[in-house]
Copies of this chain bind each other. A is one copy, B any other.
Amino acid sequence: MQDCFCDADLNLYPNHVLTPMPRSREAAQASLENLYRIFTIPEEPDSTLGSIDQAITGNVGDFLQKHVVALERKLSEIEGDFASPRIPEDPTFVSDYTEFLKEKLVAQSVHTASPRFIGHMTSAVPYFMLPLSRILVALNQNLVKVETSKAFTPMERQVLAMIHRLVYNRDDDFYGQWIQDSRHALGAFCSGGTVANITALWAARNRLCGPSGEFRGIAREGLLKALQHLDCAGLAILVSRRAHYSLGKAVDLLGLGRDNLVTVETDENNRVDLQQLREHYRRLNGEGIRILALVGIAGTTETGNVDPLEALADQAAEIGCHFHVDAAWGGPTLFSTTYRHLLRGIERADSVTIDAHKQLYVPMGAGMVVFKDPATLASIEHHAAYIIRRGSKDLGSHTLEGSRPGMAMLVHAGLSIIGRKGYELLMDLGIEKARCFAARINAHPDFELISVPELNILTYRYNPAWLQAILAQANDELARRINSPLDRITETIQKRQRAAGISFVSRTRLAPKRYRGDTITVFRVVLANPLTTETILAAVLEEQCALARQDDIASLLAELKAMVSP
């Protein structure tokens, strides 16, 4: 290596002063040795990192149970451990750093794999995902191009074809023709549903505003000229008000503006109201605004409901616009013979988003969007001189992201090892568990079910039977006076339950029809972890009842009673 310190006489940069290395050859050599070590010498099995590694390998559940501290520490305290903006000047021993990591980061992370953590969409992952992830990191492939990913390229294309077939179920000839065709793409693999939705709407926008006659297309000439070419005042996207916030980011990013993400009211089951959708369409038409796309939701983030996709497909066909379905959450329901009918019509979508790190049980960082027409992604195709050359098989020519890891391998593993039937079981379990939990909530005197589970997500709130009875009769004014303290109660219970660290449900704000659009705070439960049992769900409710008996909440309820009693 030493010869590498030779003074190559290459100072062709008069403006650059080439000072010699500020250290002796010996010192340099010494630090070099250490440097090579961290690139080559593995940790001893009995080192701190080695032993944590072994512990996780042996039994991850046990490791997390032992090391992730349940009791919530104030975030402001935790911030104290990550307060310095200074990059350490000198190297640190891996073992010392690992100790820090164990106490300050791992211990204070969230036990997302716990069957009692039913508040969000991040849940347990099958055991085999861990060793496979290590292989992935060890290989450190970059899927932007074949030269840095080789077999990973056809593997990712296969995964996209499998998901495409799950949605569109085209025949073997179709896939035989397109699966490995470099000039076309059945979809794009990305870091998550947000990038997937953005990619879908980007492609839709560029397709609607593609080259024609003198106009060389929006990709080259931009939105202003595209609108002039289409002779319209703007491009709008229609979606239910339950839409994921990523769509707001998409219209902002794409230059359409959030005003042009037109959110439509929903029915009592949180599904888009088609009547109102048509009215919005007519209004926009009158304003000279062109509809770029209708977006249907298959599994709303907050309530897990599915829009009437068949009807939306008809509507999109009538309007003549792109039809995108955000099935980031609900897509895998297609694995279920029993419940796939809930997504009927999805096969008519021009594009569909499905997240692998949600209900395909892959670790965080894996999303996909598939397109009915393999030519759609050509509208965002791009090339460079050194990679993703025209005609090359490089995946980078059709993705929003550039360099990407081979996460598709974990999807490939899940689909192969769990299989269609395994995923069907997971989907059926979640949906039926949600129905049982809803039944339990309905049967319980102190809780009110707010959204009935269509998939495996439901919302409810603490609301004693006697108060529910009064609310049922109450006028708007009284309803509001009852709901607002109930909101405080729900929020307090949710925060204290989270802080107690035994179990976790999330909360959101909804405007159920029964309260004439009055927005209320509710508990939100996502039942995706197969290890969550009925017993756990019963315990979650009991814990919430106990919290409701605490003085401050009890007195709030007493005040309510006083207020409503004649």
Contacts and interface: CB of A to CB of B under 8 A. Distances in A.
Contacts of A404: 191-192, 364-365
Contacts of A140: 112-113, 122, 125, 363-364
Interface string A101-137: 1001111111011000001111011111111111101
Interface string A426-439: 10110011011011
A540 to B, nearest CB: 15
Count this chain's copies in the assembly: 2
Given A41-B127, A52-B131, A64-B139, A409 B105 contact: yes
Given A222-B234, A404-B365, A110 B35 contact: no
A284 to B, nearest CB: 13
Interface residues of A, number: 212
Interface stretch (A380-388, A547-555, A558-566): A380-388
A31 interface: yes
A509 B387 CA distance: 10
A56 interface: yes
A402 B147 contact: no
A290 interface: no
A212 interface: no
B127 A137 contact: no
A322 interface: no
A75 interface: yes
A255 interface: yes
A1 interface: yes
A481 interface: no
30 contacts: A4-B433, A9-B439, A21-B428, A43-B128, A45-B57, A53-B131, A81-B151, A82-B157, A86-B162, A87-B419, A87-B420, A88-B416, A90-B419, A90-B420, A91-B418, A125-B140, A141-B364, A191-B401, A192-B403, A193-B403, A194-B402, A218-B257, A219-B252, A220-B259, A222-B256, A222-B260, A223-B224, A245-B383, A246-B402, A385-B509
B1 A150 contact: no
A40 B127 contact: yes
A87 B415 CA distance: 6
A544 interface: no
Contacts of A342: 16
Contacts of A355: 403
A165 B84 CA distance: 10
Interface in A69-107: 75, 78-79, 81-94, 97, 100-101, 104-107
Interface stretch (A467-475, A482-490, A530-538): A530-538
Residue of A42, A194, A413 with highest tally of chain B CB at under 10 A:
A42
